[in-house]
């Protein structure tokens, strides 16, 4: 009986140490700013791609945007490789920030199409810049939320 009690106390101490290590790692995790800015760059290119279109009845989306999708997956892979974050387990706040970034890009792309249809193509530069700044910021918000989520995920009880 004493062996079981000692083993349980040892397991509980190891779990406490693991939780302390996880908190220390999460506190020191610096966001990969260059890669997060890369996500903003992909968003800016996509939104600014509206300047290359001809909105109206004969609208065709640019075919080169598939290259941006490929680049997006490369950047996401690099973030996962460098940080170890699994994108399936980001948490609700991080998922909300990512969803907001996607919706924001769709909105800005629609605004850009409207500007192009009005002949104000130069203003698409502003929507592209807004996409870069806002998506880079939302990517950092999502990263920090994902790290906080990892910190608060409960460990199994001893």
Q: What is the pLDDT of residues 2-43, one digit of tens each?
A: 566 666 677 666 666 666 656 655 555 677 889 999 999 999
Most confident region among 12-26, 47-61, 129-143 by mean pLDDT: 129-143
DSSP state of 36: H
For the chain, the C-alpha Rg in angstroms (whole number) is 22
When pLDDT is averaged across residues 57-69 and rounded to a whole number, the result is: 79
- DSSP assignment of 100-125: HHHHHHHHHHHHHHHHHHTT-GGGHH
Q: Is the pLDDT of residue 158 over 50?
A: no
DSSP state of 38: H
When pLDDT is averaged across residues 124-136 and rounded to a whole number, the result is: 96
12 touches 158 (CB < 8 A):
yes
108 touches 127 (CB < 8 A):
yes
Element (H, E) at 33: helix 33-48
Mean pLDDT computed over every residue of the chain: 83
When pLDDT is averaged across residues 38-61 and rounded to a whole number, the result is: 85
Return the sign of the alpha-carbon dihedral for residues 112, 115, 119, 124.
negative
Q: Is the pLDDT of residue 85 over 70?
A: yes
Query: pLDDT category, 126, cuts 50, 70, 90?
Result: very high
CA 132 to chain centre: 13
Report the candidate in 100, 77, 74, 99 with the shortest Cα–Cα distance to residue 87.
77
Instruction: Give pLDDT tens digits for 70-79.
Output: 999 999 999 8
Q: Is the pLDDT higher at 63 or at 72?
A: 72
Please tell me the predicted confidence (pLDDT) of residue 21.
59
């Amino acid at each position: 009986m004493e062996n079981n009690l000692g083993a349980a106390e040892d397991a509980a101490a190891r779990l406490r140490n693991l939780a302390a290590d996880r908190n220390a790692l999460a506190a020191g995790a610096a966001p990969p700013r260059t890669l997060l800015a890369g996500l903003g760059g992909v968003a800016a290119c996509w939104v600014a791609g509206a300047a290359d279109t001809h909105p109206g009845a004969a609208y065709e989306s640019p075919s080169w945007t598939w290259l941006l999708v490929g680049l997006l997956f490369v950047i996401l892979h690099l973030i996962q490789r460098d940080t170890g974050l699994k994108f399936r387990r980001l948490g609700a706040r991080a998922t909300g920030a990512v969803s907001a970034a996607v919706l924001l890009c769709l909105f800005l792309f629609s605004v850009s199409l409207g500007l192009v249809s009005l002949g104000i193509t130069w203003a698409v530069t502003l929507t592209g810049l807004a996409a870069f700044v806002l998506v880079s910021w939302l990517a950092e918000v999502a990263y920090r939320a994902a790290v906080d989520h990892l910190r608060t995920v409960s460990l199994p009880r001893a």
